[in-house]
A and B are shown apart, each in its own frame.
Chain A
Amino acid sequence: MLVVKNLTVAYDDSPVLTDVTVHFDAGKITGIIGPNGAGKSTLIKAILGLIKVRQGSVLYQDCPIHTIQKQIAYVEQRKDLDLNFPINVFDVVLTGTYGQLGVFHNPGQKAKQASLAALEQVGLSAFSKRQIGQLSGGQLQRVFVARAIVQEAAIIILDEPFVGIDLQSETAIMGIMKQWRDAGKTIIVIHHDLNKVSQYFDDLVVMNHGVVDYGPVKKVYNAQNITQAFSADLSTVLFDDQAVAK
């Protein structure tokens, strides 16, 4: 279990997260939802060790997270990358092995085979020699999921993986996440589209300047939490519809 305990994170003295506690279970796909500025990215950056934590701790199986940093894979938002970089699909996936290799060791046959296998899994074998800027958004997202596969991490964090991608890619990525879940990994997904929450996730974290609620989707995804995190209007649209349908 991944445990975030009494976490406080601040940029320039103004706290973004104050005293946040939340659990992520292994063998579960956990979604994180909340409006813009809710602290979703800040929370995962703290888990990833990308920002300084003012107070509190992040523990994985009772170990401080920074001691097992190589056990976390991160699929970031594609917009943060230079798509004109001279690198092809295969080489991007291969960078997934860098963490385990360490400095001074270059990827060998084993690493290359793992990368090819991961590309196969996401259905992009035919594209391995293509420069990354020549892919569609969905294909590119699958490349980064393939890199996460190669990392063989215990925790996989995806930041809005489904934004701006085709349905085929979305389905393929969802399939990979379910495989990870069945292998007992911890999967954390920042998510935008509230419609698919019940369909995609086992557990849910609802955020708005801190954690509003967390737990199994059935328990947490309700009118009260959505009202508190987003708005009463949105809550009415989402949950009254369901009531009518039932």
Chain B
Amino acid sequence: MTSISVFISVLGRYEFLQSALLTAVMVGIMSGIVGSFIILRGMSLMGDAISHAVLPGVAIAYMLGINVLLGASVFGILAALLIGFVATHSKIKTDTSIGVVFSAFYALGFILISLAESATNLHHILFGNILAVSDQDIMTTAIVLGLVILFVSFFFKELLITSFDTTYAQTYGLKTQVLHYGLMLVLTLVTVSALQTVGIILVVAMLITPAATAFLWTDRLVVMLFLAAGIGALAAISGLYFSYTLNWASGPAIVLAAAVLFAFSFICSPKQGFLKWHPRRSVE
């Protein structure tokens, strides 16, 4: 336990560690919230795809010196549109369409980054570099977190009904496609923010694992969103702690922390019922 007090005292001393922790917590919260909708809509693969498909956008943004969020958003949305287009205009299934599009985008990203080698570090994009966040990064992350919270609060009931029952939403005239692409845009923004913390390869873990963990504990969407945000933040804090104390890479440490929380919930949560806390049975 001494290491925890050491961590806290070090945290008080080093500004870079404070920045890292703040960013990681914000990313944990936003990916928990957005991830909840991703898993409920059965779009885990889509989450993975979008997080990889932003790579060329990141590369081009570095090359041109424009904001990374902008470049990534363009490619994230482009990938989402292309996946949708291929799936609806052919007999190819959506998951196949996702596989084709995102791998192509990812490959393009690699090539672009190798061309722009001097300007950026591929390793950091792929695995994150939380200890190097700048003040500007913190600001951007805070803005994205704000956007996520606004998006979900304004469109909560639309997100709920399209996730639960799209057909019904269409029958009363809701523009479900618009909402879908809105969510994809938000997902892209979250992905880019998470790049810094856990890197492209592990973004999907931050989207899915805390949300899946939260799902195991509750039967209400609102509760799930708050829980997922909390679990995401908790994973970020504990991951960073292990990263600092044991000298682990920060991204994988955070993702492993989330996975441990999931494993614990999988065994202990009432929904799984391995421990049989209270029997759940429908009464006729």
- A69: Cβ under 8 A from any B Cβ: yes
The stretch of A21-29, A53-61, A128-136, A176-184 in contact with B is A128-136
- B173: Cβ under 8 A from any A Cβ: yes
Q: Which residues of A contact B264 (CB under 8 A)?
A: none
Known contacts being A85-B40, A87-B160, A136-B282, is A76 close to B167, with CB within 8 Å?
Answer: yes
CA A125 – CA B239 in complex, angstroms? Answer: 45
Q: Which residues of B contact A82 (CB under 8 A)?
A: 40, 42, 164
For B69-98 the 0/1 string (1 means CB < 8 A from A) is 000000000000000000000000000000
Q: Are B171 and A136 in contact (CB under 8 A)?
A: no
In A77-94, the 8 Å CB interface with B consists of 80-82, 85-88, 91-92
- B154: Cβ under 8 A from any A Cβ: yes
Tally inter-chain residue pairs, CB-CB below 8 A. Answer: 82
Task: Give the residue among B158, B172, B173 with the most A Cβ atoms within 10 A.
Answer: B172
- A244: Cβ under 8 A from any B Cβ: no
Q: Name which residue of chain B comes closest to A107, CB basis.
A: B157
Q: Which residues of B contact A72 (CB under 8 A)?
A: 171
Known contacts being A95-B160, A98-B161, is A48 close to B154, with CB within 8 Å?
Answer: no
Q: Name which residue of chain B comes closest to A148, CB basis.
A: B168
In B147-170, the 8 Å CB interface with A consists of 154-158, 160-161, 163-165, 167-170
* Other-chain contact of A135, B158, B163, B282 (Cβ < 8 Å): B282
Q: Name which residue of chain A comes closest to B214, CB basis.
A: A86
Q: Are A70 and B172 in contact (CB under 8 A)?
A: yes
Q: Name which residue of chain B comes closest to A157, CB basis.
A: B171
CA A88 – CA B157 in complex, angstroms? Answer: 14
CA A103 – CA B154 in complex, angstroms? Answer: 8
- A164: Cβ under 8 A from any B Cβ: no
- A237: Cβ under 8 A from any B Cβ: no
Q: Are A99 and B172 in contact (CB under 8 A)?
A: yes
B interface residues with partner A (beta carbon < 8 Å): 40, 42, 154-158, 160-161, 163-165, 167-174, 215, 218-221, 223-224, 280-282, 284
Shortest beta-carbon distance from A144 to chain B in Å: 9
Q: Are A74 and B168 in contact (CB under 8 A)?
A: yes
Q: Which residues of B contact A95 (CB under 8 A)?
A: 157, 160-161, 164-165, 168
Q: Which residues of B contact A103 (CB under 8 A)?
A: 155, 158
Known contacts being A98-B157, A103-B158, A136-B284, is A87 close to B168, with CB within 8 Å?
Answer: no
Shortest beta-carbon distance from B264 to chain A in Å: 19
Can you name 25 A-B residue pairings with CB atoms under 8 Å?
Answer: A49-B171, A50-B171, A69-B173, A74-B171, A81-B165, A82-B40, A86-B218, A86-B221, A87-B160, A91-B160, A92-B164, A95-B157, A95-B161, A95-B168, A98-B158, A98-B161, A99-B172, A99-B173, A103-B155, A103-B158, A107-B157, A134-B280, A134-B281, A135-B282, A136-B284
Q: Name which residue of chain B comes closest to A103, CB basis.
A: B158
Q: Which residues of A contact B218 (CB under 8 A)?
A: 86
- A14: Cβ under 8 A from any B Cβ: no
Q: Name which residue of chain B comes closest to A94, CB basis.
A: B157
Q: Name which residue of chain A comes closest to B215, CB basis.
A: A86
Q: Are B224 and A86 in contact (CB under 8 A)?
A: yes
Q: Name which residue of chain A comes closest to B280, CB basis.
A: A134
